[in-house]
Amino acid sequence: MSLDLFDLSGKVALFIGGGGGLGKVVSLGLARAGANVIPVSRNKERNADLVEEIMALGRKSFLTSVDITNKMDIKRLVNEVIENFGKIDILINAAGKNYKKPALELTEEEWDDVLEVNAKGVFLASQIVGEKMIAQGGGKIINFASLGSHLGITRSVAYCSSKGAVMQMTKVLATEWAPYGINVNCISPGYFKTPLTEKVLSEKETCEKIINRTPMRRLGVPEDLVGAVIFLASDASNFVTGTTIAVDGGFLSLAI
């Protein structure tokens, strides 16, 4: 296989959640592979330094934001990217949130909040960008699922429900949009130190349990995700769609 298949030169990547705990390293990895990367989150200024780093690598980017729960704001963002670059080749949906509490204590408002961001937001962004990709003749959509898409994680009922939805949504979109040259896939990260997991992993007993449950005997680092994202964003994955790649150190493979 030619290494050129992994070359993203000239590609335009819209990365929702691209400035988060894992997103920053992945955004820079995409830029090093040749892509022009637009990392976005709700807070516009949050990504200012990252945009500068992307441009320092010789790639194009610009500073913007999005409310992933607002369809009109997503449309505004997508049109803004199209106006600047003329296309979107790669969409990455990685925004996410969680309320870590027992199911009996989770409020209706908290449930709605998690599902709005983690599931509805992925659908709206994929729907709006997918329409553009159909018109332009193809593209790549990469959704961030979770170990919670596969397993029941205690005190995370809304999170696991939303991430299970993302994995199933990926399969449906992949089958519907394959005739248009659009690949839709998922990545399920294992346990990584991020702002979302920081509190849980700061508990020594819990952290040790997770590491001992992981065959590779360590937590993930953001760099571990870069290769999988580049693969799914590149021509190397042209015959891969509707699937989920676990980047988890073997966590999902271990039974006993």
Distance CA 230, CA 236 (A): 9
Distance CA 143, CA 17 (A): 11
| C-beta separation of 134 from 55 below 8 A | no
Give whole-number Cα distances, 254 to 33, 39, 212, 215, in Å.
33, 34, 11, 7
Distance CA 96, CA 107 (A): 18
At 50, is the secondary structure helix, strand, or coil? helix
| Nearest CA-CA partner of 184 in 240, 125, 124, 145 | 240
Residue 180 among the catalytic residues: no
Distance CA 72, CA 79 (A): 11
Distance CA 20, CA 150 (A): 23
Pairing outcome for strands 90-93 and 36-40 = unpaired
Please report how many Cα atoms fall inside a 13 Å half-sphere around the Cα of residue 152, on the Cβ side: 3
**Catalytic, out of 99, 159, 180, 191:** 159
Q: How many residues does the chain have?
A: 256
Distance CA 214, CA 106 (A): 29
| Nearest CA-CA partner of 144 in 245, 253, 254 | 245
The residues assigned a catalytic role are: 159
